[in-house]
Structure 1
Amino acid sequence: MKKDRFIPLRKTDLINACLQQGQLNEKDKNAFIDLCHILVSTLHFEYHQTLEILKDSYAPFDPNSDTLPVHSTSKDSLDNKQQVFAQTFAQVLNAANFEKVTEQDLQEALHEASLFKVRLEVEFEDFAEVVFYRRGEYQKTETLSKFWGLKKQQVSFTNYDKVAVYIKFKNAEYFASKKMKSTNFEPDSTIIKLFQNVPKADLEMLFPNSEVRMRTLDKAIIGGSALVGGTVVLVTKLGASLLLMAGIISYWIGLSDKAVTIGTQELIALCAGAGVIGGFIFKEWSKFKNRKLKFMKALADNLYFKNLDNNAGVFHHLIDAAEEEECKEAILAYYFLLTFKQPISSEQLDQQIEDWFTSRFDFEIDFEIEDALNKLLRFGIVNKQNNMYSAISIQAAQTQLDREWDDIFSSKVE
């Protein structure tokens, strides 16, 4: 399985792990902590601006907006905002080390058996655009019960720690042409959702228009029950009514010359038979509906504990995740360049960091070395010469980041 770019540590724990290497004296340790704080603050300001872009570009499409529109927006302006939002959202997800779920992965998920024993159908024609992103892919094993708990089965499956969903619905004309009304979504709206701990085989349950369908096994159980129950009803409760009806029908079609007189007793038998048949049909229909409701409850319960956030609320979660990942990448790259004492290539640095992470935490990552070095070069705290990289001193890096921080606000004033 492909290694994940996600660094599964908090910033504070990562900084402490670096300091525990013993490569820095006490004075430099404190200076390194201060440097990390300045670096975090700088990136935090940058991502705050990104958050504002997301909020502004998503506002016309937000189905949960509680603010009043001040002026109408033209179609061209809406299209531009949609494009800006989609691009910025994808950039934030990439910075947070999410991976786009490929069309092949999505199709495999739709055809794999669901782990919570519910078959779902999705009407993809309702969507103008569908994109799934995931982070933290690994193999997981769970024990499932079969045959009413009489048999236990261990199942291994691919699980995603986080899944972000981006879906844009088609316009109102499309749903009007289908004569379809829904209170669950607005035509032309864009919904954003974030989930946790999602099996790959159950990705279809994250679609907003997924509908529960009976599996072949469930239909067989209900059909078998109806067949056995119907046979018992016919034999025990409808014998007299069936004989009476057979006599009447035979006389009407000319198979019998014996007329059947329908008196009070015969009428009561026919009504009783009709009541038994009606009651049986209602009972079996109720079984079908109750089983479907049971599956819908299983789906709702499952989503209740997996849903993390919705629509504009997702931005804050993802912005925080992106900022966290960017900080951790920059801190790791700077620390290892600082302690290596001599210029090093990006490939060597990448391998050194990945090896350290594996030996220190017994966890393999695919470190984003180019992204980390580009940030450090942009901040001016790393030098590059002949494709070899070296870090400037902690004190010089503090001065440089202080200058970068001051320039942010001075440029705003100008």
Structure 2
Amino acid sequence: MAIHPDREHFIPLRASDLVDALCTRAGPADGQHLNLVDQNEFRRFARAAAAHVHAQYRDNLDRLKTAYAPFDPDTDLKTVAPPTDAARDAALDGLFDGIAHLLEKANYTQMTREEFVSVMEGASDWGVDMDVAWAAFDRLEVFVRGIGHTRRFRRKWYRLWRREEIAVPTFRRVLVAVKQRPHPRLGVGADTRSVFLKLFKDIPRMDVEMLLPATRVKMPKFDRVKLGGSISSSVGYGVYKLSTLSFDAMMAALSGAAGVLGVMTLATPIAVLLGYGYSTYASFVTQKQTYLYNLAQSLYYQNLDNNAGVIYRMLDEAEEQELREILLAYFYLWRFAGDGGWTAAELDDYVELDLERLLETEVDFEIEDALGKLVALGLVTQDGDRYAALPVAAARDRFAALWGRLGAADESAVCELVG
């Protein structure tokens, strides 16, 4: 059983497409595909598995909806008995724990504060650095999934401002969960009682901080040095010139036509230096406004969901991922392992190799999690370290029995769900 730290557990394929692929394309390259009878049997099994997983996640949805209700910034519902502050604090902890657990099921990785700061260090390739007011956050969690690249264009002075295409590393998905606290940078009317959930796609790794509230664009160090230098030089030059004149000479220099010339002689270098400083500052302001405009334009298309919608989407992704793991583990044991079964390592290697062939994508299959589900559902038998799948008809009967224990409406409903 290989360990792949550079791979992800996420399986980038819809469950329905996975069933089609398993029925028609899975297995060794020389072809041992299912006949039509076995295809129909496996499709009925897949529908039964989907119904069971969906019922479980329906309970998860109800719990998360209840947990998020007091913190939903978009709700228009009334509360009969508003919770106390102590109850809200306890509910807030439960909400963030529930979100973290759900996103783990959806194969997201939670970033620590240190990891987040390390990723965002330095300016992006567009010369913009952001300052984050960490004190503005009561709770902040960031989750990511998927490493990708996007193509961007830039111009650098050492390339004579020629247009250059570069590959920018990105996070395919970024989820931000934040509760704010009062802070000057947020303004007077900031909502500090709600929890905001934001989901984005294809965010450059060095620019993840742009997704946070209470951030502002920082002037680059080189520009700060230029601006400070022009101001200090102007002041220093003026002080120096004045210090070399006696009081009487100064009065004489400032009187009559000679005085006008003297003032111009003194003021012209100062004006040049201050003008250079203003030019630096104006350039920064223009760059900042351009960046913020481009940011607003890009995030319009990169924002996938907000607040309660994020919970619904994540539940759907977690449900699909769990179903895919069940289908993959069961299918390969049932179809290729035979009566002797396979060890966890053998199953893991076979699934990963076939997924790579089918999807042209390397996946780190969560074999322990998948086998744990099959064992809990009673879909496999275990002899030592070897696992063998139940026949597909018996596996469907297991789901029917589980539905009976879950309290399905009647026997006909169970039969409809399982095939």
**Aligned with residue 32 of structure 1, among 42, 46, 58:** 42
Change (3 A) 1:217 1:334: same
* Residue matched to 2:376: 378
SS at match of 2:310: helix
Tell me what 1:189 maps to. Answer: 194
Say which is worse superposed, 401-410 or 350-359, in terms of deviation: 401-410
Report the Cα distance in structure 2 between the residues aligned to 1:281 and 1:23, rounded to whole angstroms. Answer: 74
* TM-score of the aligned structures, taking structure 2 as reference length: 0.79
Distance in 1 between residues matched to 2:186 and 2:362, nearest whole Å: 48
- Give 1:131 shift: 1.8
- Is 1:215–2:223 an aligned residue pair? no
Instruction: Give distance in 2, aligned partners of 1:258 and 1:149.
Output: 51
1:85 is the counterpart of 2:82: no
Q: 1:185 to 1:333 in 2, by over 3 A?
A: farther
Equivalent in the alignment of 2:393: 395
Structure 1 residue 135 displacement after superposition: 0.9
Asked whether the equivalents of residues 333 and 372 of structure 1 are also in contact (C-alpha less than 8 Å), the reply is: yes
SS at match of 1:65: coil
Check whether the contact 1:195–1:308 (CA below 8 A) recurs between aligned residues: yes
Contact 1:4 1:137 in 2 (8 A): no
Structure 1 residues 259 and 208: alpha-carbon distance in aligned structure 2, compared to 1, 3 A threshold: closer
CA distance, structure 1, for counterparts of residue 136 and residue 223 of structure 2: 28
CA distance in 1, matches of 2:376, 2:104: 19
Structure 1 length-normalised TM = 0.80
User: Which residue in the other structure is 1:105 paired with?
Assistant: 115
1:346 paired residue number: 344
Shift in Å, 1:291: 3.5
For structure 2, list consecutive stretches of 5 or more residues without a partner in the other structure: 27-31, 235-240, 411-419
Deviation at 1:23, TM superposition (A): 3.7
2:12 equivalent in structure 1: 8
* 1:109 and 1:204 in contact (8 A); partners too: no
Output aligned runs, 1:15-414, within 5 Å: 15-20=19-24, 21=26, 22-138=32-148, 142-147=152-157, 150-170=161-181, 172=182, 175=183, 182=187, 185-216=190-221, 253-255=247-249, 258=252, 288-339=284-335, 340-342=337-339, 343-410=341-408
Q: Which consecutive residues of structure 1, in runs of 5 or more, have no partner in the other structure? A: 231-245
Deviations 1:94-149 (A, max 9, x none): 11111122444312212143134321100112223322111112455644333498
Between the aligned partners of 2:113 and 2:218, the Cα distance in structure 1 is: 23
The Cα RMSD (Å) is 3.6
1:113–1:76 Cα change, 3 Å: same
- Kept in 1, the 8 Å contact 2:136–2:186? The answer is no
Give the whole-Å Cα distance in 2 for the aligned partners of 1:209 and 1:180.
6
User: Whole-Å Cα distance in 2 between the matches of residues 363 and 256 of structure 1?
Assistant: 80
Quote the residue 1:243 is aligned against. none
Query: What SS does structure 1 have at the residue aligned with 2:147?
Result: strand
The verdict on how the C-alpha distance between 1:218 and 1:258 changes in structure 2, with shifts beyond 3 A counting, is: closer
Amino acid at match of 2:17: D
Partner Cα distance (2:292, 2:392) in 1: 58
Paired-residue identity, %? 28
Q: Could you say which residue in structure 1 is the equivalent of 2:414?
A: none
1:186 counterpart letter in structure 2: D
Name the CA shift for 1:371/1:219 in 2 (closer, same or farther; >3 Å): same
Letter in 2 for 1:210: T
In structure 2, what residue type is equivalent to 1:375? K
